[in-house]
Structures are given as C-alpha cells and as structure tokens.
C-alpha cells in the first residue's frame, strides 16, 4: 500500500517528481527484536516502533508508520499556507523569548523561521522537513555558528542551502568537520555517536520522523570509519574505542 501510494503520487507529479521510490533498510541482527527503517521520496524516514520478532514483521510495522504519516501529510492542515505560517510563528514566539516583531527581522531566529516558511509556501510538511533537516544538521555540526562569524546573514544562509539536497557530498563535508573536532577533542566522536544512537532508538520507539537522528549517526560513523582506515597501526585501546563506537549504543 505504501509503495502504491507513492507511485501514484509520482505519476501525478504531485510531490518529489525527481526522487526515487520507497527504500527499506533492515539493521543486521543475530536475533529479535529486529529493526527496520523506510525512507520516503524526499528523504523522510520512519521505523518500526513495536518489538518485532522477525525482519518481515519489522518491515511491515515501519511501512505502517510511514503510510500513516504519508496519508496525514495529504491533509490541508499539513500544507504551508498564510494561516499556517501565522499560527506557526505564534507558537514559536510562545515557546521562546522572542516577540512577534521579530518575525519581520531575518537576523533573528523567529525571523529566519518565518522567512523559511514563506519561501516554502504551498509545500507539504514532509517536503519542508528535508530543508529543516539540513539546518538542524548545520546547527548540530557548528556550521551555522561559523557562518554567522563570517557576517553572513541568516537570509543569505537560508537562500544558499535551500538550493541543495542532503546528499553524499554534504555528508562527507560534515564528516570532515567531525574528524577535525576529534583531533581537537579526542573521544568526542564516539561520545556523539552513542548519543545519536540513543536518540535514534528513542525517536523510533516513539513513532517519530527519524531522518535527523539517522543522518547524525551516518555522518559520525563515516567520520570514525575514515579515521580508523587512515591509521597504519592501532593499539588495543584504539581497537576497543573503534568497536565501542561503531557497534552502537546498548
């Protein structure tokens, strides 16, 4: 049903016309419980939230979560309209120390959020989520702070990154940033990876959209793999750190 839903969407060219089909990923495991992820056209990711005793069951459960979210995304309330923007900005102001006046100032966080919403008028929340994930990762990675120090305005940063999708090139650049962080603060990579895996597991069990957490895990794993592949020799302690970091959070 999930596959047919998105094939129908793409035939109508209603959403993500240039993207591929639904992609499934099952985590390797010697036994239950099994974990499966499903990535939708556009990049949104969901996983099974139930305890599944087989890979097929985990895949079906992940597909069910993704289908519910795909159908929910079709509701008029999930499309970015002027009314939606007003409500969203008001909610953002209520949850921060900002004011409604900040919405007209792109140099503020509220203003930047307002600008991003207006730039994506007419899109659904799943379509908007891909751009939001990029900025979540840039914030987590420290790139947004670095850009602010170069005097780039939030509006300029948003306009620049709105042209790009989250691909292997962007992941590789972020992985290089974390390799540099590891050289400055040894051990930070394994610490961040354990945290990312814990967040991913908690979000999956809560039935939430997972791309941000999953991208963090993949970027950090890529950085660790690169570091250890570059080492000519490794001590027992290095081997233990690599095993702990790459095998995941338990």
Least confident of 38-52, 62-76, 115-129: 115-129
Mean pLDDT of 162-175: 87
CA distance 213 to 227: 21
pLDDT tens readout for residues 99-157 = 888 888 877 888 888 888 988 899 988 888 888 899 899 889 888 788 777 877 777 88
CA distance 127 to 130: 6
Q: Which residues, including other chains, have CB under 8 Å from residue 133's CB and lie 6 or more apart?
A: 43, 166, 211, 212, 215
């Amino acid at each position: 049903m999930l596959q047919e839903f998105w094939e129908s969407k793409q035939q109508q060219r209603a959403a993500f016309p240039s993207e591929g089909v639904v992609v499934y990923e099952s985590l390797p495991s010697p036994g239950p419980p099994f974990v499966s992820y499903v990535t939708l056209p556009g990049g949104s990711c969901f996983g099974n939230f139930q305890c599944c005793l087989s890979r097929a069951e985990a895949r079906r459960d992940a597909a069910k979560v993704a289908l519910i979210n795909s159908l929910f995304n079709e509701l008029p309330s999930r499309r970015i309209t002027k009314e939606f923007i007003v409500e969203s900005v008001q909610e953002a102001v209520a949850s921060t120390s900002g004011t409604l006046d900040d919405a007209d100032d792109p140099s503020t966080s509220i203003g930047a959020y307002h600008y991003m919403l207006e730039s994506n008028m007419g899109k659904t929340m799943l379509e908007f989520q891909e751009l939001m994930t990029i900025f979540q990762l840039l914030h987590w990675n420290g790139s947004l702070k670095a850009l602010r120090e170069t005097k780039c305005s939030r509006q300029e940063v948003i306009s620049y990154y709105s042209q790009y999708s989250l691909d292997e090139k962007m992941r590789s650049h972020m992985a290089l940033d974390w390799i540099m962080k590891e050289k400055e603060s040894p051990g930070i990579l394994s610490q961040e990876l354990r945290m990312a895996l814990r967040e991913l597991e908690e979000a999956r069990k809560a039935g939430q959209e997972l791309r941000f957490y999953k991208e963090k895990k993949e970027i950090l794993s890529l950085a660790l793999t690169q570091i250890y592949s570059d080492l000519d020799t490794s001590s027992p302690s290095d081997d233990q750190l690599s095993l702990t970091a790459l095998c995941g959070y338990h």
